[in-house]
Amino acid sequence: MPKATVMESSKIKEGGVGLSYPMLAKSNYASWSMKMKVNMQAHGVWDDIEPKNPKSPVEERTDKVALAVIYQGVPEDILLSLAEKNTAKEAWDAIKTMCLGADRVKTARIQTLKADFESLSMSEIEPIDEFCMKLNGLVTNIRALGEEVSESYVVKKLLRAVPTKFL
């Protein structure tokens, strides 16, 4: 079968949308995991990672598809460390542990990010869009570690941190 035909048939199977897999890096776990979750949902294999019914058995074929999707989005050094994992869930949990760390490390990272959030202030010459991106990035990283940050708390911080000319 010619290459174009193979590509077209895979797009048809996936609802006309070609799926691209994000590559995991040291600093993008939160966005990577969100994109990978959606990709696995599109393939119909996310239930192998987070089953709706934990007691239901995992089908070997769908588990291998989920594992293949994970392998598509990790660099070679992480891929080699996943070789001993037998299921997609084991691989997913291993990546999560590598990126988020143990509970003590996670708690320390949350504290550091919260301190950065509290000390963040906008300079007079800094564009407001740039400052909002920094603020949003910190909040996203804190939330990715499982910590709750309310929108009202973020808005109050924004109002405290911007120069008075913006108020």
One-letter identity of residue 5? T
Q: For the chain, what are the domain ranges?
A: 21-100, 103-166
For the segment 61-69, the average pLDDT, to the nearest whole number, is 93
**What is the overall mean pLDDT for the chain?**
84
User: For position 4, what pLDDT does the model report?
Assistant: 38
pLDDT > 70: percent of the chain: 87
Residue 70 to residue 95: CA distance in whole angstroms: 10
Tokens of 112: 């550091």
Burial 93-110 (b: 16+ CB within 10 A, else e): ebbeeebbeeeeeeeebb
Q: What is the pTM of this model?
A: 0.57
